[in-house]
A and B are shown apart, each in its own frame.
Chain A
Amino acid sequence: MPQFAALQRKDNKSVRYLVVDDSVFARKNLIKMIQTFGGEVAGEAGDGLTAIAEFNRTKPDIVLMDITMPQMEGIEAVERIVRQHSDARIVMVSSVGYQENILAALQKGAKHFVQKPVKAEVLYEILRYVLSDDPAAAGAPTVLAGEHA
Chain B
Amino acid sequence: MRMELIQPFINAADAVFSDLLHSSAKIIDLTMDEDTYRRKGVAALIAIKGDIEGRVILDLSPEVAVKVASHLAGSELTASEQLVRETVCELANMVIGNSVTLLNDQGFRFKVFPPEIHADETGLSSTVDTEAMVLGLETPCGEIYLNIAMHYLRRRRSERGSLAVLD
A residues adjacent to B (C-beta < 8 A): 1, 22-26, 28-29, 32, 68-70, 94-100, 115-117, 119
Contacts and interface: CB of A to CB of B under 8 A. Distances in A.
A68 B100 contact: no
Contact of B104 (A22, A32, A99, A117): A99
A31 to B, nearest CB: 12
B24 interface: no
Interface of B: 16, 19-20, 69, 72-74, 82-83, 86-87, 89-90, 93-98, 100-101, 104-105, 109, 112-114
Contacts of A28: 73
Dominant secondary structure of chain B at its interface with chain A: helix
A98 B96 contact: no
B95 to A, nearest CB: 8
Contact of A100 (B19, B104, B112): B104
The 9 A-B pairs at the shortest CB distance, nearest first, are namely A95-B97, A98-B104, A25-B86, A96-B97, A25-B90, A95-B94, A23-B90, A97-B101, A117-B19
Given A22-B114, A26-B93, A98-B105, A119 B19 contact: yes
Dominant secondary structure of chain A at its interface with chain B: loop
A32 B73 CA distance: 9
B89 A68 contact: no
Nearest to A149: B22
B112 A68 contact: yes
Given A96-B100, A97-B97, A25 B89 contact: yes
6 contacts: A1-B74, A29-B72, A69-B114, A95-B98, A97-B101, A116-B93
